[in-house]
Amino acid sequence: MEESSASADKPRILLMGLRRSGKSSIQKVVFHKMSPNETLFLESTNKIYKDDISSTSFVNFQIWDFPGQVDFFDPSFDSEMIFNGTGALIFVIDAQDDYVEALGRLHLTVSRAYRVNPDINFEVFIHKVDGLSDDHKIETQRDIHQRANDDLADAGLEKLHLSFYLTSIYDHSIFEAFSKVVQKLIPQLPTLENLLNLFISHSGIEKAFLFDVVSKIYIATDSSPVDMQSYELCCDMIDVVIDVSCIYGLMEDGGGCAYDKESMAIIKLNNTTVLYLKEVTKFLALVCILREESFERKGLIEYNFHCFRKAIHEVFEVGTPPQDARFPRNNPLGLKYGALNGSAV
Ligand SMILES: Nc1nc2c(ncn2[C@@H]2O[C@H](COP(=O)(O)OP(=O)(O)OP(=O)(O)O)[C@@H](O)[C@H]2O)c(=O)[nH]1
């Protein structure tokens, strides 16, 4: 396959693992909105499948799905070319199967890749955990963690760091894990986090996520801890907004776009919580969770959102964080604080 130099420059995420471990399913569910049940009919991948998702997603990476059994000793396997320019290598282990063989393969793969490019982030997805009880999940993770690191220590590769995630395509865990993998590859992450912290503290918001709309990966959030329930709620909101927009928002001839500059939604839940979604860029949306009483200061939130959106555009356009020289140090965005009577000060 001919690659343009632009796409060759993008950092790659490699998905590797034994046959039937779930690689293609992960890719289809996260990036192509395939429903988990449909993956039962996926055929086995026989050659490297390169999926460039940058035209639909903020995630400017290529995802390479490798066929189950790559033969590293095959001369046609050019490990220099493949591992150089790789940002993250995700190794998928089927937790419902006997994983001894997978562990051997994991060791072979990461040690080979590390020798070519020690800067790769090595991520291990302990996958298909939907079939396991909670205790069994913890035990499996502990066992895989221990054995994989023992193998590395025996080979003198203590510096090679593996990160582990429990994942399944049948819940949000796969999106959450992919979010973490992608976040590590975003150089602007600390800036985004700071901007989100400033935005929520000035606007009385409890939690805010910056989402890649098409994949529902969150590329950043404020620095308060993420609880799965909040994340799931925000993912569900994106689904609702996009689905309603697809059904009722497009032109009769099918023209238009389900997600554009005008996209925004407010959902009030029956427990005094409000969900607030607004377009930030072509691919990104801000999704916030806040209390009903904070939402009384809607004007303030909208003003602060406007400043936040502008700053995000600057971060990505210029590629550098807003400079202190241009923004006062204690309030780099020019945000306004909400007073208790609802007016901005
Ligand atoms: N229970 C469960 N099954 C899964 C999960 N992910 C994938 N599967 C199933 O695992 C089977 C194999 O999935 P594939 O995505 O084809 O696996 P692959 O690793 O791409 O396989 P090759 O192309 O042969 O290398 C399919 O029947 C999927 O439905 C999961 O999270 N939970």
- pLDDT single digits (tens) 191-228: 999 999 999 999 999 999 999 888 888 999 999 999 88
Ligand 1 contacts CB of residue 28 (under 6 A): no
Ligand 1 contacts CB of residue 172 (under 6 A): no
Q: What's the CA gap between 338 and 53, in Å, rounded?
A: 40
User: If we measure between CA atoms, which residue out of 24, 50, 52 comes closest to residue 39?
Assistant: 24
Looking at ligand 1, which atom is closest to the CA of residue 41? 27
Looking at ligand 1, which atom is closest to the CA of residue 66? 25
Ligand 1 contacts CB of residue 23 (under 6 A): yes
Contact 277, 238 (CB under 8 A): yes
How far is the centre of ligand 1, averaged over its atoms, from the C-alpha of 320 (Å)?
40
How far is the centre of ligand 1, averaged over its atoms, from the C-alpha of 15 (Å)?
13
The reported pLDDT for the residue numbered 62 is 73
Ligand 1 contacts CB of residue 169 (under 6 A): yes
Ligand 1 contacts CB of residue 38 (under 6 A): no
Tell me which residue has tokens 């992608």: 182
ipTM of the assembly? 0.97
Q: List Cα–Cα distances, 229 to 66, 162, 173, 207, 212, in angstroms.
A: 33, 27, 11, 12, 18
What does the pLDDT look like over 148-204, one tens digit per residue?
999 999 999 989 999 999 999 999 999 999 999 999 988 889 999 999 999 999 999
H or E stretch covering 315: helix 298-318
Q: Is the pLDDT of residue 332 over 60?
A: no
How far is the centre of ligand 1, averaged over its atoms, from the C-alpha of 98 (Å)?
15
Higher per-residue confidence, 307 vs 85:
307
Average of pLDDT values for 69-91? 77
Name the residue of 14, 37, 38, 42 to mutate for ligand 1: max ligand atoms within 8 A of Cβ.
42
The reported pLDDT for the residue numbered 316 is 80
Report the percentage of the chain scoring pLDDT > 70.
81
Burial 126-145 (b: 16+ CB within 10 A, else e): bbbbbebeeeebeebbeebe
Q: Is the pLDDT of residue 341 over 60?
A: no
Average of pLDDT values for 50-62? 72
Query: Can you read off the two tokens belonging to residue 84?
Result: 């150089």
Q: What's the CA gap between 171 and 216, in Å, rounded?
A: 13
Name the residue of 16, 20, 64, 172 to mutate for ligand 1: max ligand atoms within 8 A of Cβ.
20
Ligand 1 contacts CB of residue 34 (under 6 A): no
Give the pLDDT band of residue 254 (cuts 50, 70, 90): low
Contact 103, 162 (CB under 8 A): no
Ligand 1 contacts CB of residue 37 (under 6 A): no
Q: Is the pLDDT of residue 98 over 80?
A: yes
Ligand 1 contacts CB of residue 90 (under 6 A): no
The reported pLDDT for the residue numbered 14 is 86
What does the pLDDT look like over 129-145, one tens digit per residue?
998 999 999 999 999 99
Q: Can you count the helices (H) and strands (E) in the chain? A: 10, 11
Looking at ligand 1, which atom is closest to the CA of residue 42? 16
Closest-CA residue, ligand 1 atom 32, reads: 128
Across the chain, what does the average pLDDT equal? 82
Q: What's the CA gap between 328 and 334, in Å, rounded?
A: 8
The reported pLDDT for the residue numbered 186 is 86
Ligand 1 contacts CB of residue 236 (under 6 A): no
Name the residue of 23, 25, 91 to mutate for ligand 1: max ligand atoms within 8 A of Cβ.
25
Closest-CA residue, ligand 1 atom 3, reads: 128
Q: Is the pLDDT of residue 339 over 70?
A: no
Tell me which residue has tokens 């040690």: 111
